[in-house]
A and B are shown apart, each in its own frame.
Chain A
């Protein structure tokens, strides 16, 4: 292969694409710099502009990729270079070099500058994996567009083929989706929806299903007809290869990252915690404070013959006995009700009343740990379970027993509740000011700016992460909390006062650091709406402010069972 020829061909391509390349490189360098605009009012606008530019950036890269292939097409009988003294390896090398140097590099630079600005420190190995991951994704995406470009000569045809293949895939996905849905419900799907949907929703779902079915039938009819109409022997090879290319790209995207993940992942699943140690569970005491039928409502059925019933069972449970560093989290509930008539009402839904207790316990604990002068508000209760369970009588499909409200009297309730006992673990306490940061694996949390004005404190937080598929990060973050961003409170180291934290504006930028402006204020007195002005902070509060990072650890499970007759309600 003659390298002078390769260089000559690359320079020709660069010359042709120079304006696009200039725009791509400018975007690669300068778009990440928009993340330095951290003004609260400008930030949303900048993010919107940036998203538009980034979209154009990638679109331009794809367009340039296709265009540079079509500049010297690989098919057709009017090719110029085909009749010139050039070996095909030189041609291939020139195109690959162009793509690598002029199209992949800007993506790398864009990514690297973004990571640098987001403040995440990657290890050398992770930097390598990041580059490998980008190469994998970029080559997969490139394959989608390169395949059609190899077999057609005009940009318009290539675009039409890509759109057609995407639409065809979409139709097939819908077809198999509808098919699977129908088979899954065994022909009684639409009626079965009625159990969970309102009649309006059910009708809408029938309409949507019908529409999708019609689209699928049309698509599956049109595709073969179009193939028969336009099929020519010389179309066969490109068509087969393009379809094969799409299929391979699909397989590539679905499997390759996960296959590679097996080799590189540093994810270690946390061990399952078993039952709570006996020493701790012995200290616990459960108290079922009330179990009462509350409001019950009945109304005539549409045919006038029957009455329908809706009743609520209110359950209050307290758990106490352990140090307030611990608190339980309900993970499973198994409840059965037996009526004296022998009928068994089905549980429709459980509504947990807003339960500030655990948060309160955590706050109290942190106050005590962080501030010497914190008041002792320790309670002997670690938890309040406050639930409203709703039961219905029969419905239109007669799948539930008919129950009269009088039958609820002396109902026997059997329940088994499993709780995970969690523990508060303080990670770090630092003065609350600009530059405070804490790092976890491929992610960082930092306070970029702190401003005190008008009795409230506002701060710009950056909680960015670089998710590496090859390390299994998306799965990791979806799972246990160990690697996610740590929880924290801003606390006064003298008084132990913890401030209410709310988001003022979030950048929601998928291509940059995850920045958000937050507001810290005193908690509003009970009964005041959240929109009301909170009580102002005294001057100098910030001087004694600390930020306390903590996490919640699972310690073990504990089970509580009871059988009790529910107290009857009064009508």
Chain B
């Protein structure tokens, strides 16, 4: 199977500080992949390595089958990259930045660009230096999308956006990417939005990829379980995380819920059991607070 984005044993350090220690990532064609993790954990670094802005100390990174360190002019016609920190020419107006960038792409779709401009409601006559943070992000996103890239890498696309802008951006992304089967890899801390957009989710922690699986699968296998009328904390299965007993109620997170586990649960705890689905935010939190969950699994 070919992947739009693939990394193998990717390592990177800033001086003595190791940020990525063997990250394996695979983003399938046409999927919407969300990369999650705490601040400073290496999400942005990973994206920068993928677009060749940083050079990995070990391992490989490839986009559309091309090594990130050797991306050529034509490769960039299929790759869109957006980062809030990207230095665009802020002495130009939004219109001029678009006009400048347009000439670099032979596959630039001016009609699509105009549509995006309209959707994003950018103040194009204004100098970019006077843009708000949200407008700046939207402009950079426009520059990354208007040539119909096959792969879109977005670094914190929702950061600092107000509700309306975020909604515009998400609907814009959903409309176009789903229609055209783009592969999108994005980082975000906004888990509610990730839940709306992502097909797959990856979580980086401690320099490693802790989870990398479809969002549906993740949501299916995680449940909060409450068992009433428990006197003492029983011996728990390995798939049960963070069990605690309070006022006769045993609460824990079941990480392997579907399949036989449901039957097992009912058999073990009887009718006094309440099983509740978990939001992505709760799942991620559970991962981050659980000590080394993948190893124990």
With A85-B77, A87-B73, A234-B15 known to touch, is A80 a contact of B104 (CB < 8 Å)? no
Segment at the interface with A among B78-86, B188-196, B238-246, B279-287: B78-86
Contact B73 A16 (CB under 8 A): no
Contact B104 A83 (CB under 8 A): no
Contacts of B51 in A (CB 8 A): 82-83
Contact B73 A86 (CB under 8 A): yes
> Is A12 interfacial (CB-CB < 8 Å)?
yes
Contact A86 B48 (CB under 8 A): no
Contact B89 A12 (CB under 8 A): yes
Mask, A392-423, CB within 8 Å of B = 1, is 00000000000000000000000000000000
**Bound form: Cα–Cα A84–B71 in Å:** 10
Q: Which single residue of chain A is at the shortest CB-CB distance from B101?
A: A84
**Bound form: Cα–Cα A463–B105 in Å:** 59
> Is A525 interfacial (CB-CB < 8 Å)?
no
Partner of B89, one of A5, A8, A76, A80: A80
Mask, B63-103, CB within 8 Å of A = 1, is 00000000011101101010101111101100000001101
Contact A16 B87 (CB under 8 A): no
> Is B214 interfacial (CB-CB < 8 Å)?
no
**Bound form: Cα–Cα A79–B53 in Å:** 8
Mask, B244-259, CB within 8 Å of A = 1, is 0000000000000000
**Bound form: Cα–Cα A338–B248 in Å:** 125
Distance in angstroms from B275 CB to nearest chain A CB is 45
Contact A86 B104 (CB under 8 A): yes
> Is B52 interfacial (CB-CB < 8 Å)?
yes
With A8-B100, A78-B86, A232-B15 known to touch, is A83 a contact of B91 (CB < 8 Å)? no
Partner of A83, one of B15, B79, B89: B79
> Is A540 interfacial (CB-CB < 8 Å)?
no
> Is A77 interfacial (CB-CB < 8 Å)?
yes
Distance in angstroms from B66 CB to nearest chain A CB is 13
> Is A233 interfacial (CB-CB < 8 Å)?
yes
**Bound form: Cα–Cα A449–B76 in Å:** 67
**Bound form: Cα–Cα A60–B105 in Å:** 34
**Bound form: Cα–Cα A512–B251 in Å:** 90
Partner of A84, one of B14, B89, B92, B104: B104
Q: Which applies to chain B's interface (DSSP): helix, strand, loop or mixed?
A: loop
**Bound form: Cα–Cα A8–B91 in Å:** 17
Distance in angstroms from A211 CB to nearest chain B CB is 38
Contacts of A5 in B (CB 8 A): 103-104
Contacts of B83 in A (CB 8 A): 78
With A5-B104, A8-B104, A79-B53 known to touch, is A84 a contact of B76 (CB < 8 Å)? yes
> Is B276 interfacial (CB-CB < 8 Å)?
no
With A8-B103, A8-B104 known to touch, is A82 a contact of B53 (CB < 8 Å)? yes
> Is B230 interfacial (CB-CB < 8 Å)?
no
Mask, B11-53, CB within 8 Å of A = 1, is 0001100000000000000000000000000000000100111
Contact A80 B88 (CB under 8 A): yes
- The total of interchain contacts (Cβ-Cβ below 8 angstroms) comes to 58
**Bound form: Cα–Cα A71–B88 in Å:** 10
Contact B15 A233 (CB under 8 A): yes
> Is B266 interfacial (CB-CB < 8 Å)?
no
Partner of B48, one of A71, A73, A77, A80: A77
**Bound form: Cα–Cα A73–B92 in Å:** 17
Contacts of A76 in B (CB 8 A): 53
**Bound form: Cα–Cα A232–B17 in Å:** 11
> Is B174 interfacial (CB-CB < 8 Å)?
no
Distance in angstroms from B148 CB to nearest chain A CB is 13
Partner of A16, one of B53, B74, B91, B105: B91
Mask, A243-263, CB within 8 Å of B = 1, is 000000000000000000000
Distance in angstroms from B100 CB to nearest chain A CB is 6
**Bound form: Cα–Cα A85–B14 in Å:** 28
Contacts of A79 in B (CB 8 A): 53, 86-87
**Bound form: Cα–Cα A16–B100 in Å:** 13
Mask, A1-34, CB within 8 Å of B = 1, is 0001100100010011000000000000000000
> Is B54 interfacial (CB-CB < 8 Å)?
yes
Distance in angstroms from A157 CB to nearest chain B CB is 15
Contact B76 A77 (CB under 8 A): no
Q: Which of A76, A77, A83, A233 has the most CB of B within 10 A?
A: A83
Which residues of A55-107 have CB atoms within 8 Å of chain B's CB atoms? 71, 73, 76-80, 82-87
Contact A85 B48 (CB under 8 A): no
Contacts of A78 in B (CB 8 A): 53, 83, 85-87
Contacts of A233 in B (CB 8 A): 15
Q: Which of A77, A233, A234 has the most CB of B within 10 A?
A: A77
Contact A82 B104 (CB under 8 A): no
Contacts of A234 in B (CB 8 A): 14-15
Contact A85 B105 (CB under 8 A): yes
**Bound form: Cα–Cα A490–B204 in Å:** 92
Q: Which single residue of chain A is at the shortest CB-CB distance from B74?
A: A85
Distance in angstroms from A231 CB to nearest chain B CB is 10
Identify the A interface with B (CB < 8 A).
4-5, 8, 12, 15-16, 71, 73, 76-80, 82-87, 232-234
Identify the B interface with A (CB < 8 A).
14-15, 48, 51-54, 72-74, 76-77, 79, 81, 83, 85-89, 91-92, 100-101, 103-105
> 19 A-B Cβ contacts within 8 A?
A4-B103, A12-B100, A15-B92, A73-B87, A77-B54, A78-B53, A79-B53, A79-B86, A79-B87, A80-B86, A82-B51, A82-B52, A82-B53, A83-B76, A83-B79, A83-B86, A84-B104, A85-B73, A234-B14
User: Other CB < 8 Å A-B pairs besides A82-B52, A82-B53, 12 of them?
Assistant: A5-B104, A8-B103, A15-B92, A16-B89, A77-B53, A78-B86, A80-B88, A82-B51, A83-B79, A86-B104, A232-B15, A234-B14
